[in-house]
Amino acid sequence: MWRPNEVGGLFPELRQALYTARLRELRPDALMPAEVVEIATAGGADCLGMSDAGRLENGMRADLAVWPGDDLGDMADPLAGLVLGPDRRVRHLLVGGRFVVTDGLVGGVDLLDAHRDLARRATRLWD
């Protein structure tokens, strides 16, 4: 059975892109963690024609995500730890300057109700 490699998470996809580039070039430095993050952020915004997003610069729109880094220890490159390390759930997420996730909890959404609604809708798809 065919299965896509997409798991829906940012870092597994970045990791896959990084490893693919390194394997293709047969060089461990073919693509570095900072470069793959830039491709995903600035490159993604550019592909969508969003010249005012994708970069942390004065005057740019920004949606910001914060991941826990407690277990990164004294890594010289914490970004590499996020890209290459174990998957983490986002701790805080700001979209349009508004917190939508705080301490790992989605604000303004009753997750139990959302799960029930999703299950109900999914069941209707197969009926």
Q: Residue 55, SS3?
A: coil
Query: What's the mean per-residue pLDDT of the chain?
Result: 88
The answer to whether residue 73 is domain-embedded is yes
In angstroms, rounded to a whole number, what is the distance separating the alpha carbons of residues 53 and 42? Answer: 7
Residue 28 in domain: yes
Q: Please, are residues 31 and 21 in contact by the beta-carbon 8 Å criterion?
A: yes
Q: Is the pLDDT of residue 27 over 90?
A: yes
Task: Let me know if residue 95 belongs to a domain.
Answer: no
Question: What's the pTM value of the predicted model, to 2 decimals?
Answer: 0.75
- The total of structural domains in the chain comes to 1
Residue 15 has pLDDT above 90, yes or no: yes
What backbone torsions phi and psi does residue 76 show, to the nearest 5 degrees? -70, -30
Domain-located, residue 78: yes
pLDDT band per the 50, 70, 90 thresholds, residue 4: low
Contact status, residue 92 vs residue 103, Cβ threshold 8 Å: yes
Q: Which domain holds residue 45?
A: 10-90
pLDDT over 80 at 106, yes or no: yes
